[in-house]
Amino acid sequence: MKIEAFTIREIQMPLVHFFETSFGRTTGRRILLVTAHCEGINGWAECVAGENPFYSPEWIETAWPTMIEYFVPALVGRSLAQARESVVHMNPVRGHRMAKAAVENALWDAEAKQKQQPLWKLLGGARREIACGVSIGIQDSIEQLLDKIAIEVAAGYRRIKVKVKPGWDVGVLERIRSRWPDILLSCDANSAYRLDQVEHLRKFDQFNLLMVEQPLWNDDIYFHGRLQKQLNTKICLDESIRNARDAEAAVDLGACGIINIKVGRVGGFTEAKSIHDVCQSRGIPVWCGGMLESGVGRMHNVALSTLPNFRLPGDVSASKRYWKEDIIDPEVEVSPEGMITVRGEPGTGYNVREDLIEKLTVRKKTIRAAGVAQ
Ligand code: OSB
Ligand code: MG
């Protein structure tokens, strides 16, 4: 597979409904897409970096130059037998995992198409249906949140996750549980609490939550271990797990009982698979997180979710929850039982709508290997 060129672009898409976490509200996305041009095949991927450096230090304005100045030059013109070989060429750059992941994953997409194999199979997937949950942001009122949960429960989603922060937590969880005593429920704090709030966090134990996601600092593992000893509810780590070593350390320290894998956060499919394998060998279930992806990132999350240790419903939900019109065909759809059927065609089984993407593009740069004609 010769990498002849990469195209990096930004598209802009308004969200159907705003999404609010403890670190802020998003009303529309600015999304970077990567296309790897390999001997007549185009591999696509999405960079999940945000519009601001709030979820992680990375954001679109660090990802853009890092891809163009480092990752693309390290790879363009090379011939690789497998996408995972790209990792070693990007290794000299520290961090910038979301940018790395976008470049690596575009090559996985190309490899699957070139080998005429479904991407999920190439990744080592073992199931044809994945269980879906939803992540519901902080709303303007509790009533608005309850209305949203009612819609998602009726749609069949198998796990409801709500965002929490100080002042929007215990009272909210109480209202949800009194209306739905039995649903699979979890919450995500995106690092909104500190260790001296342990007495407050212990109140979450009364709600029979599947997990509490990332209660403490985004870069911490050790103090989550201290907190976990004082909570009955399992902690799930998101932000603080950057790689398989972090996952192993977290498990050794008893810092979590569950791990959320986001392929962008951890630097690509190769590292995501390693984390999956570490967790599987240690008896820690994982699930696939989401970053308000367009269809391109979403179709990759669907493929990743087929690996055997993705044992809990993920944040991978239907395109229509986010977009009036998604950039893939068909869109990602969820059955009334809360499942996505994984497609059997080569690649992801979803077609990228290049015409629509062109219309949504606000900037674009193609970098060709030396000697490759325009
Ligand atoms: O912490 O999981 C998170 C969205 C943006 C940044 C961080 C997170 C999220 C979500 C959304 O929870 C999940 C989704 O894509 O629906
Ligand atoms: Mg999270």
Distance, in Å, from the CA atom of 290 to the CA atom of 253, rounded to the nearest integer, reads 26
Closest ligand to 23 CA?
1
Q: Which ligand is nearest to the CA of 135?
A: 1
Tell me if residue 260 falls in helix, strand or coil: strand
For residue 338, give the nearest of 169, 152, 175 by alpha carbon: 152
Task: Measure 137 CA to ligand 1 centroid, in angstroms.
Answer: 9
Query: Atom of ligand 1 at shortest distance to CA of 290?
Result: 15
Rounded Cα–Cα distance for residues 21 and 213 (Å):
12
How far is it, in rounded angstroms, from Cα 150 to Cα 148? Answer: 5
Residue identified by tokens 């001997």 is 39
What confidence score (pLDDT) does residue 374 get? 59
pLDDT at residue number 371: 75
Q: How far is the CA of 241 from the centre of ligand 2 (A)?
A: 11
User: What pLDDT sits at residue 83?
Assistant: 98
What residue's CA is closest to ligand 1, atom 12? Answer: 135
For residue range 103-112, what is the model confidence (pLDDT) as tens digits? 999 999 999 9
Q: How close is the Cα of 351 to the center of ligand 1, in Å?
A: 24
Which ligand 1 atom sits closest to the C-alpha of 213? Answer: 1
**Distance in Å, CA 134 to ligand 1 centroid:** 9
Mean pLDDT of the chain: 97
How far is residue 339's CA from residue 335's CA, in Å, rounded to a whole number? 5
Q: How confident is the model at residue 294 (pLDDT cuts 50, 70, 90)?
A: very high
Ligand nearest to the CA of 259: 2
Alpha-carbon separation of residue 364 from 197, 225, 359 (angstroms) = 46, 44, 12
Lining residues, ligand 1, CB within 6 Å: 21, 55, 135, 188, 190, 238, 289-292, 315
Longest dimension (CA), the chain: 66
Task: Find the mean pLDDT for residues 308-314.
Answer: 98
Among 264, 268, 266, CA closest to 108: 268
Tokens coding 234? 């399992």
Q: Would you state the pLDDT for residue 333?
A: 98
Average pLDDT over residues 29-58: 98
Residue 322 CA: nearest ligand 1 atom is 16
Label the pairing between strands 185-188 and 212-213: parallel
- What value does the mean pLDDT take over residues 316-322? 98
Q: What is the mean pLDDT of residues 168-197?
A: 98
| Residue 244 CB partners (closer than 8 Å, separation 6+) | 271, 274, 275, 277, 278
Residue among 138, 291, 300 whose CB has most ligand 1 atoms within 8 A, to mutate = 291
Q: What is the share, in percent, of the chain residues with pLDDT greater than 70? A: 99
What is the position in ligand 1's atom list of the atom closest to the CA of 321? Answer: 16
338: phi > 0 → left, psi -120 to 50 → alpha, else beta; which? left
Bridge-based pairing state of the strands 24-38 and 41-47: antiparallel
Nearest residue (CA) to ligand 1, atom 9: 291
- Determine which residue's CA is closest to atom 6 belonging to ligand 1: 291
Tell how far the Cα of 281 is from the centroid of ligand 2, in angstroms: 23
- What b/e readout covers 306-318, taking b as 16+ CB neighbours within 10 angstroms? bbebbebbbbbbb
CB atoms near residue 356 (< 10 Å): 17
Q: Enumerate the active-site residues.
A: 163, 262
The full 3-state SS of 84-108, as one line of letters, equals HHHHHHHCCCCCCHHHHHHHHHHHH
Residue 369 per-residue DSSP state: P
**Global pTM?**
0.97
Question: Phi and psi at residue 142, in whole multiples of 5°?
Answer: -65, -40
Going 307 to 311 to 312 to 318, the CA torsion angle's sign is positive
Q: What is the mean pLDDT of residues 202-219?
A: 98
If 0-12 CB within 10 Å is exposed, 13-18 middle and 19+ buried, where does residue 345 land?
Answer: middle
251 Cβ partners below 8 Å, 6+ apart?
Answer: 278, 279, 282, 284
